[in-house]
Structure 1
Amino acid sequence: MDTITDKKAEQLESQGLWRRAAARWLDVMKEAHTDPQREHIARRREICLANFRML
C-alpha cells in the first residue's frame, strides 16, 4: 500500500496534541498524489479529531 507517513504529525499524536496533529495531517494531505494516500491521511486525521473530542 502506498501510504504517506509524517514524523511531525506522528510525534504530535504521541504527545497527545490531537488538534495540532489533525492540522498537520491536513497539510500533509496537500502533498498526497493518489486517492489511497488521501484516504489514509483522512483516516489518521479523523482519529486525531475523535481523540481531541474525548478530552
Structure 2
Amino acid sequence: MSPRTGRPPKENPRNINLNIRITKEESERIKNCAEKLDLTRTDTIMKGISMVEKEIEEKE
C-alpha cells in the first residue's frame, strides 16, 4: 500500500459555512482590507472579530 498523499489534516479545520448578505460596497471594503494586509477575506473578518472582542473586554 502506498502512503497517503495530500495535505495533512488541520488541527482546527474551518468546516462550518456562514452565509451573510452584504452590499457590494461592504464586500469591496473587506476585499481591499484583505489585499492591504495580505490576508484572506476570512482571516480579515476574523481579525475584525478579535478587535471587537478586545473592545468588549475593555468595557467590562
- For Structure 1 versus Structure 2, the TM-score category normalised by the shorter chain is 0.3 to 0.5
Task: Give the TM-score normalised by the residue count of structure 2.
Answer: 0.36
User: More helix by proportion, 1 or 2?
Assistant: 1
Higher RCO, Cα 8 Å, sep 6+: 1
Which of structures 1 and 2 has the bigger CA Rg? 2
